Amino acid sequence: MLFKRAMVNKNERGLLLRNGDFQRVLRPGTHWLFGGVDALTVETFALERPAFTHALAHYLMAKEPAMVDAEFLRVDLAGTQVGLRRENGVLVEVLAPATRRLYWNGLVDVQVDVIDISATAAVPVGLVEQFMLTSLRENPEAGLDGVLQVQVPDHGAGILWIDGKVQPLLVPGSYAFWTFNRNVSVTLVDLRLQVTEVSEVSEVSGQEILTRDKVALRLNLSATWNYGDPITAHTHLQNPTAQLYRELQLGLRAAVGTRTLDELLDDKTLIDEIVMAHVQERLAKSGIELANVGVKDIILRGEMKDILAQLVETEKEAQANAIRRREETGATRSPLNTARAMEGNPIALRLKEIETLERVAENIDRISVFGGFDSLLNGSVKLR
């Protein structure tokens, strides 16, 4: 059959191939093709999907520039350029550097904005907002794996690293950075006061950590801190929070191991002061500021707890006995002092007699007096 009939719809374009080689682009309509002994092939492409990803794309850009200019939008990005592809005004794709693409002219209005990223990794502010909004769509744009988006909260800051070098601190806000041809990362830090809990068991790798008088303890310590200089903290320390925890542990062990149990129990603030001084010395100029340190609990082991309870009970019982002896001594001494005061003092003796008479009268319902008031005073009570 010498002639071949090909139909191209209005929403399509056709690619005519003779023996696999490109011949021409077929526009919508009916085409009668003379093939002779050659094999004719017509490949059709729907214009709703404008990207032309055929294997002949690079050949056409190199050898058929006039046809490409007539039928396609050509994108040929340099190694330091990115492209923002929009379809009908909507951003749909971020094209990486050195991208070469063809897009059909036709139903979809395709535009590609070219941006040079050689000078800076920062994405322009207007584009940052677009990336944030379009990422919420059901079908977000493609190519965003080449864009690092960062949201720094109000209570935080961001440490920006580009190719291993630290950049100025990021204040709260929205940011985006091109990661093409660069190694870009952001570490978010919380600038608020933070609490680190340290639970130190007096056993490490089977070896006991004891007080100076050989008593094993469990202590729970709480530390409040914040980042004074986030950049210094993250450039001088590999893991600032882990380093702080380690120094708190070391300070706590040093405080426990060099003091007796009695010293620790008598003054819990002693541990706080030792740990605070240790950490401040070790982390000086590290960018971490320690606000306060406090021991929450000092817990003894079972048998030691029983011994301590018995000791406390014995001490309290001894104190109670001493108080009772003092009271008995005082009770004995008081009458003796009273007797000495009345000896050789008729007035004091007479007052005591009246006081005794008053006490006696309190327990008597009725008193009959003979001989008058003087007889009552002189005859009822007489102290010798």
pLDDT digits over 194-243, tens only? 998 887 554 333 334 677 777 777 778 889 999 999 999 999 999 999 99
pLDDT for the residue numbered 340: 67
State the pairing for strand pair 29-34/147-152: unpaired
* Predicted pLDDT at 264: 77
How many C-alpha atoms does 255 have within 13 Å on its Cβ side? 31
Closest among 228, 181, 230, 199 to 77, alpha carbons compared: 181
- Three-state DSSP at 47 gives coil
User: Which tokens hold the place of 381?
Assistant: 């009570």
- pLDDT for residue 136: 57
CATH no. for 194-300: 3.30.479.30
pTM of the model: 0.69
Average pLDDT, the chain: 82
Query: What are the helix and strand counts (H, E) for the chain?
Result: 10, 21
Higher-pLDDT residue of 380 and 337 is 337
Classify residue 339 as exposed, middle or buried by CB count within 10 Å of its CB (0-12, 13-18, 19+).
exposed
Kindly tell me the burial class for residue 200, based on how many C-beta atoms sit within 10 Å of its own C-beta (0-12, 13-18, 19 or more): buried
SS3 call for 46: strand
Q: Give the residue-averaged pLDDT of 286-315.
A: 72
| 291, 271 contact by CB (below 8 A) | no
Residue 203 has a pLDDT of 39
What tens digit of pLDDT does each residue of 65-87 get?
999 999 999 999 999 999 999 99
In tens, the pLDDT along 312-342 reads: 566 667 777 777 777 767 666 666 666 666 6
Q: Which residues of 250-268 are buried (b: 16+ CB within 10 A; e: fewer)?
A: ebbbebbeebebeebeeee
**Euclidean distance between CA atoms 23 and 3, whole angstroms:** 16
Give the pLDDT confidence of 119-157 residue by residue, as tens digits: 999 999 888 988 877 655 656 678 888 999 999 999 999
Taking the C-alpha atoms of residue 186 and residue 159, their distance in angstroms, rounded to an integer, is 5
Task: Determine contact, residues 46/26, Cβ cutoff 8 Å.
Answer: no
- Report domain extents, the chain: 194-300, 311-380
One DSSP character per residue, 248-297 reads HHHHHHHHHHTS-HHHHHH-THHHHHHHHHHHHHHTTTSSEEEEEEEEEE
| pLDDT for position 108 | 93
Using CA atoms, how far apart are residues 64 and 24, in angstroms rounded to an integer?
A: 10
